[in-house]
Structure 1
Amino acid sequence: MSRKFLIVLFLISAFSCKKKAEQKAHLEQPAELIKSDEFQLVKSPSENGLLVLFPCFPCDAENTLNEFKIADLATANGFSVLALNVNRKLFLSEHEKEEITLMLQNIIKKQSLVTKNVYFGGFSSGGNMALLVCNHLIKNNKNIQPDGVFVVDSPLDLLALYRTAEKNLKLNTAEVSVQESQFLKQMFDAEFGNPKDSLAVYEKRSPFTFQTQNISNLSALKNTKLRFYTEPDLQWWKEQQQNNYEDLNAYYLKQLANTLKSEFKTNTIELIETENKGYRANGERHPHSWSIVNTKELVSWMQKGI
């Protein structure tokens, strides 16, 4: 073996080892946490995807990252996690959808985030926002195009939510349920009016209206992967708030999943019903929680788009 050949072989080996060491060092870099008034971003050191999260009605980005333990797993697999502080919204006007779009575009540009392999998710009312914003992005051919959307026990049918609130007020049993129902009924009466006189207004704002099978606000999501998570613990809801299955978000999520499968004729729509997975970060049992999502399996689902 010639001396020249040995030198070449040594150089190739040294270069290969250096490259592997650089890759290992890059992978071992910690994720970067960036906070602002608008969001909290956990940025992956090996970013090749983005997960955007909307909080529940009274919640914020910090609450989302505390309750939904996905940031470490997602960033380790190349997904940065952008938790938004956009809250207190069950529905969005066209102006609000565009405002959120511009905010996302500015964050992505300023933080140098990717615009491929983008997924959106939301818990409770945050799921409503996630679906409506994604439909807006696709419908208007924005530079952010979601590959998939998932919602976690979201109240997607506002008409049904109004009627459940009316029922809860008549029952007048659980104090928490009565307070929430009073708030919802007052808000809907002020914003939309009584459904008897303004059904079309509810259809215009609601992601889904089961009574009329209206899915016009989701029509652009035909080629987008969709997941609907819910935990229909009928005994828990009956004991806590005297609710039946038809009063639950779980019921309407199932109806929507069936409707979309029929209308879109696709196999990319999933209804995921869990059992005894719902617990808050403080250990409190509650089926209406981020924890019903299997984070490892969700990241695998997102990776299938890469």
Structure 2
Amino acid sequence: MTIQPVGQPKGLLLLLHGFGESPEYVYAETELPKEAVRQGLLTVLVTLQQGWQSFYVDDASQQTLADIIKEVQSKHRLADKKLYLGGFSLGGSGVVRYAELAMAGNSLPKPTAIFAIDPPLDFARLYQSSLHQRKHGKVEVAVKEAQFLMDRMDKEFGGPPTAQPAKYVSLSPYSYTDTTARHANLLKNTPIRLISEPDILWQMNERNRDLYEQNTIDCVSLINYLRLIGNTKATYVPTVNQGYRKQQGNRNPHSWSIAEPKATVAWLLTN
């Protein structure tokens, strides 16, 4: 889904939806695309090769994303304009992963700035927390999600992190156990904004989840490390009581709504 602003675009924004979503769902769920267009950005809601089932950090997904960026830049003559990327959940994971790969070489268009909404970044952590939820959780929706994630990670990584530790480090946008921080180091000069809503009581009461089972731990860890190595444009934004699913009409801290549209787009345009 491509939305063009009035007049010549100031830049390009690509948005990656979460697992199980579609561009149409995102457009109805958040004002982010509309705000970006109002601010003069040509905005594309991206669907990758596996559609709503895309895992985003795998090589095929990353290649598809790179191809889409190049195609849009060429079609709309935006190769010399600023490139912004944003994503939700696994889509956010894909955004961070792409930025790292782009900064590692010269073959991919480099983003000017990126943001991600509550993305899992350390998949070894996600696997272990999912295993804990599957064994001990008592909320059906959370237990089923944990089992699904484990099955998908077994497929994508070739097994659990205990069996494939190198693969988890290789594909995770951030790995807390990687003492070389090889992926994080690639983002030393990249403006990055990570957003999450660490509503501990909601997670405990509604999903039987503890802190280790929340993506916030990955977001804070990455941003803190980037600040330590000198990235002055690495920002973590915690929100309070902003997480709601608009179309479902229910409370959920893991939602597009925690990224306030005007503030998010304004931050992009400062870079």
Which residue in 2 is equivalent to 1:59?
21
What is the distance in 1 between the residues matched to 2:67 and 2:138? Answer: 43
Asked if 1:194 is matched to 2:160, the reply is: yes
Residues in 1 aligned to 2:38 and 2:137: alpha-carbon distance in whole angstroms: 48
Q: What does the per-residue CA deviation read over 1:138-162, in whole Å, with 9 as the maximum and x for residues that have no partner?
A: 3222463211010100111100110
1:13-36: CA deviations, max 9, x gaps? xxxxxxxxxxxxxxxxxxxxxxxx
Bigger Rg, which one: 1
- 1:11 — aligned with what? none
**Unaligned stretches of 5+ in structure 2?**
none
The residue matched to 1:57 in structure 2 has which SS?
Answer: coil
- Retained in 2: the 8 A contact 1:237–1:244? yes
> Which residue of 32, 35, 43 maps to 1:73?
35
Would you say 1:304 and 2:270 are equivalent positions? yes
1:42 paired to 2:3: yes
What is residue 157 of structure 1 aligned with on the other side?
122
Could you tell me which amino acid in structure 2 is paired with residue 272 of structure 1? V
> Among 220, 224, 227, which residue is 1:254 paired with?
220
**1:213-240 Cα shifts (integer Å, max 9, x gaps):** 5642343322110001000000100011
Amino acid at match of 1:254: V
Provide the alpha-carbon RMSD of the alignment: 1.8
Query: Against the structure 1 CA distance between its residues 147 and 226, is the aligned structure 2 distance closer, same or farther, given a 3 Å change threshold?
Result: same
Whole-angstrom CA distance in 1 between matches of 2:47 and 2:204: 32
CA–CA separation in structure 2 for the residues paired with 1:246 and 1:213: 20
- Return closer, same or farther for 1:219/1:99 CA change in 2, 3 Å cut-off: farther
Decide whether aligned partners of structure 1 residues 250 and 300 sit closer, same or farther in structure 2, where only a CA change above 3 A counts.
Answer: same
Does the 8 Å contact 1:278/1:289 carry over to 2? yes
Match of 1:110 among 75, 87, 91: 75
Structure 1 counterpart of 2:256, which letter? W
- 1: distance between equivalents of 2:204 and 2:259? 23
Deviations 1:168-223 (A, max 9, x none): 11114111111111111122223321222221111011111123356423433221
Q: 1:194 to 1:300 in 2, by over 3 A?
A: closer
Match of 1:244 in 2: 210
Report the AA paired with residue 6 of structure 2. P
The Cα shift of 1:294 comes to 1.5
Aligned-residue sequence identity (percent) comes to 28
Q: Distance in 2 between matches of 1:120 and 1:215?
A: 22
CA contact (8 A) 2:190 2:231 kept: no
Which residue is 2:91 aligned to?
Answer: 126
The amino acid of 1:248's aligned partner reads Q
Residue in 2 that maps onto 1:89: 54
Letter in 1 for 2:126: L
Q: Which has the higher contact order (CA 8 A, sep 6+)?
A: 2
Distance verdict in 2 for CA 1:191–1:266, change over 3 Å: closer
The structural deviation recorded for 1:59 is 1.0
2:268 and 2:160 map into 1 onto residues whose CA distance is 40
The aligned residue for residue 211 of structure 1 is: 177
Gaps of at least 5 residues in structure 1 are 1-39
